[in-house]
Chains A and B, each alone.
Chain A
């Protein structure tokens, strides 16, 4: 059974696109067939993070409007056999998306893939509501800042009322993913604590992604962070999150600061 998962947040710049790419790649690495769909019509970015920007011919809007077939718009990842991208249009705006068009595309994608990951635009307008409209599950990306947490709270309210599942009286399964978590600032008490965030959002935690230069480096070379350097801390956190999405039980690691030379020399106890 295909699962449609929306990656959303309300606030911009918290890491939705990075998360979509990283989770998509991690799921594909574990043998699932995955399509990542960019809903940010007019401000697309997922193609860049996936390193497929030079191979975009047709896009989501072309398919919605019947100009191109879905199979023409899908782009296969060069590194992973089971990972596909459906890019957004950069020249149009969100009004080009229609409810019926999105529904027919999602229905079609459900028959072709195990996972359909929808990268939602920021905000609570048409693009964001259509991205979540047909979702079975949602990953709410949150930074440990009050503004981000409040926007996430708003989005969770919309997931509980504006989605097709909610209108049928069912529930969209929701997960909170905390990104850009800075252990040093957390230690100094400059950020909202994990407990506070979860208390406010009252939603289960999917993972904690530490703030890292590796994320920036990966998106600059057009590679999901889980593919670019699978051993770095954010990549491992994303991989764990993807395993949790697949139903595995993985112990939650709260990122801590690496302290010094001794920590670096004696990083891990051998098995």
Chain B
């Protein structure tokens, strides 16, 4: 039986997005570092107003109260801190900006403050449309790639899942879950060298292990959508 899971439910879509922010990396003594900030502000007042600022505390060892004091000092200079990185989460109080991780360096074009406010970042590179995984996907891992196809040169363990905007290709045994065409791509397919899947889904239409024909087990197979039925056939 092929049914779309609860069609009336309105899903809350959580999306990730990355932005460019200024990173402040205070150094000890903090007082002198703050006076450097003051010097910058003296040259171009309001330079940091309304800008996203991240505080990188990796090079200093500050207690919770010292962090709170530093945030206060920045606030006095009309510098609003969007997030903090490089510090243990336990040092952050609930009223402080959240801890950020996984930041990557990028080039900031130092424009004049007036222009800077309107200017967006440099034009985005074309995103890759496929993801290649060269190692097995282990139980508990979740690979989500909504921009295109996912290829796995290994097995997908029981309890692991692959979510792809396009098709999924597995050159090993599929023991976990594979969900293809999650952005509404009903032409997406799932291919695997050996099928022992816990669940297959294409564009929201799914089949669980129980519904998959046992005669297909352990064989190379592909799954695709024909209207609203999922077809699973051997590949040879």
Q: What string of 1s and 0s marks CB contacts (under 8 Å) between A183-204 and chain B? A: 0000000000000000110100
- CB pair B139 A150 closer than 8 Å: yes
Chain B at the A interface: mostly helix, strand, loop or mixed? Answer: loop
B54-107 residues at the A interface, CB under 8 angstroms: none
Interface residues in A148-190 by Cβ distance below 8 A to B read 150-151, 153-154, 156-158, 160
CA distance A151 to B139 in the complex (A): 7
Residues of A within 8 A of B169 (CB): none
**Residue among A124, A153, A158, A160 making CB contact with B157, cutoff 8 Å:** A153
Residues of the B chain whose Cβ atoms lie less than 8 Å from the Cβ of A200: 155, 157-158, 173, 175
Shortest C-beta distance, B57 to chain A (Å), equals 16
**Those of B175-231 within 8 Å (CB) of chain A:** 175
B135 & A160 in contact (Cβ 8 Å cutoff) = yes
Within 8 A of A (CB), among B142-190: 154-155, 157-160, 173, 175
Residues B158 and A153 in contact, CB atoms below 8 Å apart: yes
B138: Cβ under 8 A from any A Cβ: yes
Instruction: State whether A150 and B158 are in contact (beta carbons under 8 Å apart), knowing that A157-B139, A200-B175 are contacts in the complex.
Output: yes
Which A residues are CB-close (under 8 A) to B139? 150-151, 153-154, 157
With an 8 Å Cβ cutoff, the count of chain A residues facing the other chain is 13
Contact with A along B106-148 (1 / 0, CB 8 A): 0000000000000000000000000000011111110000000
Complex: how many Å from CA A146 to CA B140? Answer: 15
Q: Say whether A150 contacts B136, CB under 8 Å.
A: no
How far apart sit A27 and B33, CA to CA, in the bound complex (Å)? 54
Cβ of B157 to closest chain A Cβ, rounded Å: 4
Report A-chain residues with C-beta under 8 Å of the C-beta of B141.
Answer: 157
Q: Which B residue's beta carbon lies closest to that of A171?
A: B135
CB atoms of B140 and A202 under 8 A apart? no
Residues in A with CB closer than 8 Å to B135 are 160
Provide the bound-state CA to CA distance between A81 and B48, in Å. Answer: 65
Residue-by-residue, is A125-155 near B (CB-CB < 8 Å gives 1, otherwise 0)? 0000000000000000000001000110110
If A150-B139, A200-B157 are given as contacts, then 14 extra A-B residue pairs at C-beta distance below 8 Å, sorted by A number, are: A124-B140, A146-B158, A151-B139, A153-B139, A153-B140, A153-B159, A154-B138, A154-B139, A156-B138, A157-B138, A157-B141, A158-B138, A160-B138, A199-B173
Could you show 22 A-B contacts with beta carbons less than 8 Å apart? A124-B140, A150-B139, A150-B158, A153-B138, A153-B140, A153-B158, A153-B159, A153-B160, A154-B139, A157-B137, A157-B138, A157-B139, A157-B140, A157-B160, A158-B138, A158-B140, A160-B135, A160-B138, A200-B157, A200-B158, A200-B175, A202-B154
